Amino acid sequence: MFSLLLVIGLVVAAFVGFNVGGSNTGVAFGPAVGSGAVSKLVAGVLMTAFAFLGGWTVGRRVVTTLGSNLVAGDPFTLPVSIGVLFFIGGALFVSNVFGVPASTSMTAVGAIAGLGLARNALATDVVLEIVSWWIVAPLIAFWVSGVVGRYGYDAIEARLAIGGDGGSLFTVDTDGTIPTPELTDGTTPREATGGVLVVGIACFMAFSAGASNVANAVAPLVGSGQLTMNAGIILAAGAIGLGAVTIARRTLDTMGDGLTDLPLAAALVVAVVSATLVTALSAIGIPASFVVIATMSTVGLGWGRATRAEGRLLVEADDVVQGMTDPDVAVGDLYRPWATLRVVALQNAVPAVATVGAYLLFSAW
């Protein structure tokens, strides 16, 4: 029999999942949307499907981990679960309002860590191991992408021959009995192939996000015994889907256009680097900072391309560089330092708010 408190817990959990969808869809599908490979609506639908698949398969282990390994004992009573979820959802909502995707894993671990600190039951060794990887992995993503952007991007773009100017690559012919996708005018088969690759990797990133982040919405409730594992995953995946087709539109704009000029070849590089790192971290049992890794990969690629462009400006003086009529504007389009600073600052502030808020609440509980 449902109690009013349980109903509140389910609503708060759904609110967390809603914001997970808003935050992570921009990271997974921002490159694909920014390059014109898919629309925002299609990105939301694909995010929903693959996040559910990831949560239903791999995500069960993460639910168990967050519900038992970070804090000793049996901390998740129903009221405590609601309190933890409140801080996770509230912090993520603030980040989505600003249009900046925050790391759900960092926020969730931060809120649970705040509970552990308040109860003097935090598993410090586990937290330190996780945090160390949160520092190292984004740096790896930045520098790998930066090296590719400076030294290998031109060759990749030439080999793939995919520009991706932001227009749609595909249209749907609805004249026949069965709707069929067709290439838009001016889209080459190579561009279409690149678009399919970007979308495929984005789906893999969505799978990884679901595997990691379903737990962030329902682990406290499952850990407290108020929800079964299957019911929790279905609730979280449904809420993620709702966020993916609604509030995610702002983070899709930020990740697709706000940080760096992202043609299709660049989107492919970002997706490969991010998906590889997230998969590697998941394989060793670390809740991956999915958003931060992908963001720093995007920033690193833009920075690498910008330094490449600056080097050419020094050599070619007043000549036009790759069709750029205004060199200063062109470099700014490749890498936007102030936008990057805003994103990185908020991505670190959101988990900190969740940690401090949870600590203060449970200290006074």
Q: What is the pLDDT of residue 186?
A: 61
Alpha helices in 162-245 (DSSP H): 189-223, 229-244
Our CA angle for 256, 354, 211, nearest 5°, is 55
Q: What is the pLDDT of residue 136?
A: 94
Q: What is the pLDDT of residue 319?
A: 39
Higher pLDDT, 192 or 79: 79
Q: What ranges do the domains of the chain cover? A: 4-364
The residues that bridge with 181 in the sheet, in sequence order, are 172
**pTM (two decimals):** 0.72
Higher pLDDT, 174 or 249: 249
Q: Are 292 and 136 in contact (CB under 8 A)?
A: no
Higher pLDDT, 89 or 217: 217
Element (H, E) at 31: helix 4-34
Q: What is the pLDDT of residue 292?
A: 79
Confidence at 177, pLDDT banded by 50, 70, 90: low
pLDDT tens for residues 117-171?
988 888 888 888 888 988 899 999 999 999 998 898 888 777 665 544 555 665 6
pLDDT tens for residues 320-342?
333 333 334 344 445 566 666 66
Q: Using CB atoms within 10 A of its CB, is residue 287 exposed (0-12), middle (13-18) or buried (19+)? A: buried
Q: What is the pLDDT of residue 51?
A: 94
Give the HSE-up count for residue 4: Cα atoms under 13 Å, Cβ half-sphere. Answer: 0
